[in-house]
Amino acid sequence: MIIRDATPDDAAAMAALLNRIIAIGGTTAHETAKTPQTIRHDYIDGPHTRTCVVAEDEGRILGFQAVDTTHGEAHIGTFVDPDTQAKGIGAQMFARTRQLCTDAGIPELFAAIRADNVPGLAYYARIGFADIGHEPDYALSTGAIVGRVHRKLSLR
């Protein structure tokens, strides 16, 4: 497996991966399928994208991790193939993401995780993110209340 910077050519595979995660439900706040064009704009080379890396094995995208700027803060999102979660892919992607962010002078990263996303909460805690806030009433478009946890990691 290699960790590398995402390119526009990865957009279709990244969309397929994220759309599968959305369809399964429970680990992302995204609720509607994404097109390759949306993936490219939101994660690869759009105006707010700071970094985006992919985990690739034998030509297959197993995950991606992106940092964008929202309201002046650097926010991270991590998406790993459900069949390969908890195998260290997220940690390997984060090693590259952290270096890219440090090189870019980004002082801290923020993450917003669904409160019912147990694997996501465990992952961000494992790589050093600490709770800074909670939204217990955060709801999906269906009205289902899932809550959200806000975390931060200092890169200095």
Mean pLDDT across the chain, nearest whole number? 94
How many Å apart are CA 67 and CA 75, to the nearest integer? 5
Query: What pLDDT shows up at residue 86?
Result: 67
Tokens 């995204």 sit at which residue?
30
**For residues 46 and 40, is the Cβ–Cβ distance under 8 A?**
yes
How many Å apart are CA 35 and CA 57, to the nearest integer? 22
**Residue boundaries of the structural domains of the chain:** 2-154
37 to each of 34, 40, 65, 73, how far by Cα in Å? 8, 5, 17, 24
**Both structure tokens of 10:** 């990865």
Average confidence (pLDDT) over 18-39: 90
How many Å apart are CA 146 and CA 136, to the nearest integer? 7
Q: What is the CA radius of gyration of the chain?
A: 15
Average confidence (pLDDT) over 25-54: 92
Average confidence (pLDDT) over 43-57: 96
Q: Is the pLDDT of residue 59 over 70?
A: yes
The domain made up of 2-154 is a member of CATH 3.90.480.10: no
83 or 60, greater pLDDT? 60
H helix and E strand count, the chain: 4, 7
Per-residue pLDDT tens digits for 91-147: 999 999 999 999 999 999 999 999 999 999 999 999 999 999 999 999 988 898 999
Query: What pLDDT shows up at residue 62?
Result: 96
What confidence tier does 26 reach under pLDDT thresholds 50, 70, 90? Answer: confident
How many Å apart are CA 140 and CA 154, to the nearest integer? 29
